[in-house]
Amino acid sequence: MLSRLLDTVAGTEVSAHCDLPCGVYDPAQARIEAQSVRACMEKFHASDDPVFRERAVMIKEERSDLVKHHLWVLWTDYFKPAHFAKYPQLHELFNEATKLAGAGGTKGTNDVTVADRLLARIDEIAAIFAETKQAA
């Protein structure tokens, strides 16, 4: 049965903007996680309880990984060559944002200004994303 199905679709050319129907991608997911990272940093600084501070760091690092994940999905699955041609700064924005969420960024520090820079990059990506959605 599988071979009949494959024979039926073999040679059929298909085209899609993304690997799933549009509407499944949104930079808001990365932004929500980045806001959680920032909040963990603030709570870390507001507490003098070493156990609480350790938990805040652990959660911040998990959320930083999720920021990177959501950004990578957008970078690799949503944005296409035409987007990168129209918005030549997009690769650099993603590179900066994912590094800001990594070990050299929010994952490796409790400096709230680093989280603010990450949020700013995500906002820049979101603005381009919104433009591409209007054009679609």
Regarding pTM above 0.75, the answer is yes
Main-chain dihedrals φ then ψ at residue 16, nearest 5 degrees = -150, 150
Q: Is the pLDDT of residue 14 over 60?
A: no
Per-residue pLDDT at 36 exceeds 70: yes
Residue 90 burial by Cβ neighbours in a 10 Å radius (0-12, 13-18, 19+)? buried
Q: How confident is the model at residue 135 (pLDDT cuts 50, 70, 90)?
A: confident
What's residue 13's pLDDT? 55
**Domains along the chain with CATH numbers:** 25-135 (1.20.120.400)
Residue 39's H or E segment, with its range, is helix 28-46
Question: pLDDT per residue over 47-90, tens digit each?
Answer: 999 999 999 999 999 999 999 999 999 999 999 999 999 999 99
Q: How many CB atoms lie within 10 A of CB 73?
A: 17
